[in-house]
Amino acid sequence: MNYSFSTPAHAILITLEGDMLAPHHYEDLLEKIDDYLLEGKSQFVIDLEGLRFMNSSGLAALCMILTKARKNDGEVALCKVPAHLSKLLIATKLAAIFSIYDTVDEAVDAVKPLLEVNSEVKE
């Protein structure tokens, strides 16, 4: 599996490509997530458009990222989810746990930090 990071606005965008089938596919990714959390960055958007296959191990990795983010007052949004992965998320009931969006922009807006949302309301 290949992945890349970028930082649109206040979120970390993670773009996944290939297959997410075993821990060796995503161990480095989880380490990088930990590095971002240590920097105080806990808002993540995961673009799944390029992901061909994912099994229960890959789903576990997504859940680990979500748990890590939420423990650090952050959030994770998924976007551009291919139909075959959408069916998997629905079948495993994870579609109810994750916020899922059609576009990167929608997902980035959805993980806006609470502090930033509160300051916008006051204006």
The partner residues of 4 in beta bridges, in order of sequence, read 15
pTM of the model: 0.89
pLDDT given at position 121: 43
pLDDT given at position 10: 86
- For residue 83, what are the CA distances in angstroms to 29, 61, 93? 24, 19, 15
Per-10-residue mean pLDDT of the chain, 123 residues long, equals 88 94 88 95 96 92 96 96 95 95 95 57 45
pLDDT given at position 118: 40
pLDDT given at position 114: 52
pLDDT given at position 62: 96
Structural domains of the chain sorted by starting position, each given as residue range(s) with its CATH number in brackets: 2-122 (3.30.750.24)
